[in-house]
Amino acid sequence: MRVFLAGFFAVGLMAQAQNSGQGPAVAHAPDGGVKQTLQSISIPPLANAPFTATVTTEWTHLMPDGTTATVKNKRIVARDSTGRIFEERRFFSPTGDQQPTRLSNLQYIDPNRHEAFDCVPLQKTCHSFEYRRSAMEKMPANMNGLMACGCASPAMDGAKIEHEALGEKTIEDVQVTGSREITTIATGAIGNEKPEPIVKEFWYSPRLGVNLIVKRFDPRSGVQNFSVSNISLSEPDPKLFEPSAEYQIVREVVERPGLPQSR
């Protein structure tokens, strides 16, 4: 599930010089700025595979002078035996792996009712929308870390993609299978002056249908590392999968031309 996480946003400002010695007053229209997105791990609606865990994210940006800037967060995720999913979304900070950062969203998915909620704690509001996937009894055959994540590099002109098996290991008593994908972007394909590698590494749990470790290097967005820890395979509290009663629910209305609309 692709979701927008806390990125870096540039906001245009109107300014005037306060000191007459600084020159004439300056004014400009708002700057459009830059918005970045971060795709975290993907949790499929897999039935009979309950778990609760902590996802720690570390995002390192490559600065023009060769230095780096790193921000982090950690959040709770869960899935019950019916395939319902709960995920916290939190803002980043330089110490976000050591202490909780501010909540940005709470997300609830119910594949049985085909409904999802995206809740904003600051506004005490949940937006409801249709979730089309149904709960799965098992992961599709030949599923691997790249396919489960949904973040394998798409084919592009002039790009060379290589895959490598990394074997198996155990993470917190959960068996995982490793794979690595290296995509080499040809010179000039994205305006680059030389071939550029994009490297992704996955450690995938067939039992949970989730990547427990994801490591990505992309020269365009930096280094992104995700790790799943504090894994409990017990059935989570059912209350975890329903928005709080104090939240206002705003339901999506889909209008289909030519069909009578329910009110």
What top-level class would CATH report for the domain 51-251?
mainly beta
- pLDDT of 132 reads 93
Distance in angstroms (rounded) separating the CA atoms of residues 165 and 181 = 9
pTM greater than 0.75: yes
Scanning the structure block, which residue is given the tokens 């692709």?
2
Closest-CA residue to 136 (of 241, 217, 45)? 45
Q: How far is CA 224 from the centre of its chain?
A: 11
263 residues of the chain, pLDDT tens digit each: 444 333 333 333 333 444 445 667 788 888 777 666 677 789 999 999 999 999 999 999 989 898 999 999 999 999 999 999 999 999 999 999 999 999 999 999 999 999 999 999 999 999 999 999 999 999 877 666 566 555 566 666 667 888 899 999 999 999 999 999 998 988 888 788 998 888 999 999 999 999 999 999 988 889 999 999 999 999 999 999 999 999 999 987 767 676 665 55
Q: How far is CA 162 from the centre of its chain?
A: 24
Distance in angstroms (rounded) separating the CA atoms of residues 227 and 243 = 26
